[in-house]
Homo-oligomer: A and B are copies of this chain.
């Protein structure tokens, strides 16, 4: 490492000018792309120091590296300065490997030296509890006032593979190959594992950032920084928890607006969300589902293993999102085609049946025993005549329903002397080029990708993943879904402003909903038996009577409900009966009167409820009523606001959705109208402002007379129990 063997004082770059250096809006350029680095607390006896210095040397870091140690002396062949200020040269970034107790002192020195960014390896902060949290806040405040961006504490660092700059405290591999994937991880240990796995797959990393305790730089900042780096085509994210939801959402949106899909492996369930599951809706939903809903909203591709994280992000980087209905697969064995069929089914990926024209075109080029199917088995005949491969791929690609093509073939670790594999991959490349659509060669099973294999496939113009058919299909599923997400019309954003109303009780809630475009059952709060009978007469139908009281939530329990009354006498008698029962059961309850509504029969009962997640804000759940929602928790969840298209998707996700299509001779529910009502309920909930914990419509009835909310309930922050 040339800069390290040189005297640290020699050959300083020009006077440091933080703003000029940092055209980077977030001020992270000095941290993530420094021209000079100070290793504070460097010592030849520490494994961390050794690794950090080794990494800089191995990467060929071209800037200056300064050893800082109060004892001075020669460290790793360089004369150490006692402090950063003593270096007398501009320092862009510093790696702090000093005890937590020295931090404040060190920060004073950093400020004096005009350091732009620090990486803090040291632990002993927020991860240790209350006191540590306070100490962390102290240095965060110091850094902020000094204008120093801070990675950590308690993190392993970062590596900027593009610039050849690692500030990383365990052994790292030298960057190799074309880098397109950026990696952000809250866990440094897992970042190392992911880097190793990426290398094994010859997936080049542009950056790798571990954020540790996130006293300053959070995953959101790292993602926004990466969204501006031209080399990074897609971002892989390992996430334990999100500290600042708004920043996180903004960062993901920035990355996606820049055309850089973000793939996330999120572990654990948020305790904050769990506590918040006060409302009925909460218990139906579960916190992890809220994160799933967030992924749908933001177009995040959520995966569930380290392997999927790398394989999926790599394919995003190589081909981008896919637009279209489904995939075409080609293999050289019937057994493989069967595996692909089963696996695609499990992943919910369409393998469209071939259009007649495609089938005809394929018949022209295939050997007699092969059948034009998707997946397509080109049979062993391709062993003898590899040209079949290119011809089949080109013919298949003409099919209008096919978004992308995949050929199952292993790139060999080493090219054999006979060029066997080259002959096939040449044909695959020829077919891919002729296809005019995204194409991927997938290995049969998971297999490491050697440098030679990567070079051979790139030379022959073949996009290759060694992730195997299972992980490859999983990834392609994400590419298709992200493509669909990009094309959908997002709901217009709605800021959550304090609501001007606070409706409570069935009548008030239903009236509020009606004013917000939600159809509700006709109803009248009768103040007398005659009043009730008159309204019932106007309705010309059997009616339901329900007590109206702000103090009574469970009306049935106090005898406050009577069903299916018809005729003046029955309605009058019913009115008196309810009043007597309720006065007996709840003598102190305030009574507004008795609600008279037409009795609805048949139709499909739905449940629509909104709930507020403390991190991610209001969400909406839709389910079928009765056992579906109460026993099976068969609900679909989205973050608000939603569009009608979202609402239709939600209905499509319900396991009991068949009930909407005219089950057992009942008329089918008009899904489009239902979707409109669901959207209106979501908007009404947002209009109620941030104090609304939940709004529940149960049931929302879809019947042959239309769609009506029959009952509504609100739960408010800090509201007393009725």
Contact A307 B240 (CB under 8 A): no
Report A339-393 residues with CB < 8 Å from chain B CB.
339, 341-343, 346, 369, 383
One of B128, B305, B342, B655 near A267 (C-beta < 8 A)? B342
Which B residues are CB-close (under 8 A) to A346?
304
Bound CA span A336–B190, Å? 7
Shortest A78–chain B CB gap in Å is 24
Report A623-659 residues with CB < 8 Å from chain B CB.
627-628, 630-632, 655-656, 658-659
* Closest B residue by C-beta to A306: B445
Contact B47 A383 (CB under 8 A): yes
One of B194, B268, B335 near A187 (C-beta < 8 A)? B335
A200 at the binding interface (Cβ < 8 Å)? yes
Contact A627 B659 (CB under 8 A): yes
* Closest B residue by C-beta to A337: B267
Contact A631 B307 (CB under 8 A): no
Contact B627 A189 (CB under 8 A): no
Which B residues are CB-close (under 8 A) to A268?
338, 341-342
Contact A307 B267 (CB under 8 A): no
Instruction: Answer whether A369 and B448 are a contact pair too, CB < 8 Å, given A267-B338, A470-B307.
Output: no
Report A455-491 residues with CB < 8 Å from chain B CB.
468-470
Shortest A624–chain B CB gap in Å is 9
Instruction: Answer whether A267 and B193 are a contact pair too, CB < 8 Å, given A304-B346, A632-B656.
Output: no
Which B residues are CB-close (under 8 A) to A332?
189
A76 at the binding interface (Cβ < 8 Å)? no
Contact A339 B267 (CB under 8 A): yes
Instruction: Answer whether A240 and B335 are a contact pair too, CB < 8 Å, given A305-B470, A468-B306.
Output: yes
Which B residues are CB-close (under 8 A) to A369?
128
* Closest B residue by C-beta to A200: B447
One of B238, B468, B469 near A335 (C-beta < 8 A)? B238
Report A653-679 residues with CB < 8 Å from chain B CB.
655-656, 658-659, 663-664
A616 at the binding interface (Cβ < 8 Å)? no
Q: Would you give the 0/1 interface string for A264-275, flagging 1 where the beta carbon is closer than 8 Å to chain B?
A: 010110000000
One of B187, B336, B468 near A189 (C-beta < 8 A)? B336
A434 at the binding interface (Cβ < 8 Å)? no
Which B residues are CB-close (under 8 A) to A306?
339, 444-445, 468-470
A248 at the binding interface (Cβ < 8 Å)? no
A505 at the binding interface (Cβ < 8 Å)? no
Which B residues are CB-close (under 8 A) to A690?
none
Shortest A277–chain B CB gap in Å is 18
Which B residues are CB-close (under 8 A) to A469?
305-306
Which B residues are CB-close (under 8 A) to A305?
339, 343, 445, 468-470
Bound CA span A193–B334, Å? 13
A253 at the binding interface (Cβ < 8 Å)? no
Copies of chain A in the complex = 2
A186 at the binding interface (Cβ < 8 Å)? yes
Which B residues are CB-close (under 8 A) to A187?
333-335
A703 at the binding interface (Cβ < 8 Å)? no
Bound CA span A369–B193, Å? 23
Shortest A373–chain B CB gap in Å is 13
Contact A333 B190 (CB under 8 A): yes
Bound CA span A196–B655, Å? 41
Which B residues are CB-close (under 8 A) to A656?
627, 631-632
One of B445, B631, B658 near A659 (C-beta < 8 A)? B631
A716 at the binding interface (Cβ < 8 Å)? no
One of B196, B341, B447 near A448 (C-beta < 8 A)? B447
Bound CA span A469–B305, Å? 9
* Closest B residue by C-beta to A655: B632
Shortest A161–chain B CB gap in Å is 19
Bound CA span A655–B186, Å? 36
Bound CA span A238–B128, Å? 51
Bound CA span A306–B341, Å? 14
Which of A193, A238, A445, A469 has the largest number of chain B CB atoms within 10 A?
Answer: A445
Bound CA span A448–B307, Å? 13
Bound CA span A534–B332, Å? 75
Shortest A651–chain B CB gap in Å is 14
Bound CA span A336–B192, Å? 12
Bound CA span A185–B335, Å? 10
Report A122-142 residues with CB < 8 Å from chain B CB.
128
One of B193, B341, B658 near A445 (C-beta < 8 A)? B193
Bound CA span A631–B469, Å? 33
Bound CA span A342–B303, Å? 12
Shortest A212–chain B CB gap in Å is 11
Contact A342 B304 (CB under 8 A): yes
Contact B631 A189 (CB under 8 A): no
Which B residues are CB-close (under 8 A) to A631?
655-656, 658-659, 663
Instruction: Answer whether A186 and B267 are a contact pair too, CB < 8 Å, given A197-B447, A655-B632.
Output: no
Bound CA span A196–B659, Å? 49
Bound CA span A265–B659, Å? 35
Bound CA span A193–B193, Å? 27
Which B residues are CB-close (under 8 A) to A383?
47
Shortest A268–chain B CB gap in Å is 5
Q: Please name 29 pairs of A and B residues whose Cβ atoms are closer than 8 Å in the assembled complex, sorted by A.
A: A47-B383, A187-B333, A187-B334, A189-B335, A189-B336, A190-B333, A193-B444, A193-B445, A196-B444, A197-B445, A200-B445, A268-B338, A268-B342, A304-B342, A304-B343, A304-B346, A305-B339, A305-B445, A305-B468, A306-B444, A306-B468, A306-B469, A307-B445, A446-B446, A447-B448, A627-B656, A631-B655, A631-B656, A632-B656
Considering the complex of A and B, which 4 residue pairs feature the smallest CB-CB distances, nearest first?
A187-B335, A189-B333, A267-B338, A190-B335
- Beyond known contacts A305-B470, A307-B445, A307-B470: 17 more, CB 8 A cutoff: A186-B335, A190-B335, A193-B336, A197-B444, A197-B446, A200-B447, A238-B335, A267-B339, A267-B342, A304-B343, A304-B470, A306-B444, A307-B446, A307-B468, A627-B627, A627-B628, A631-B655
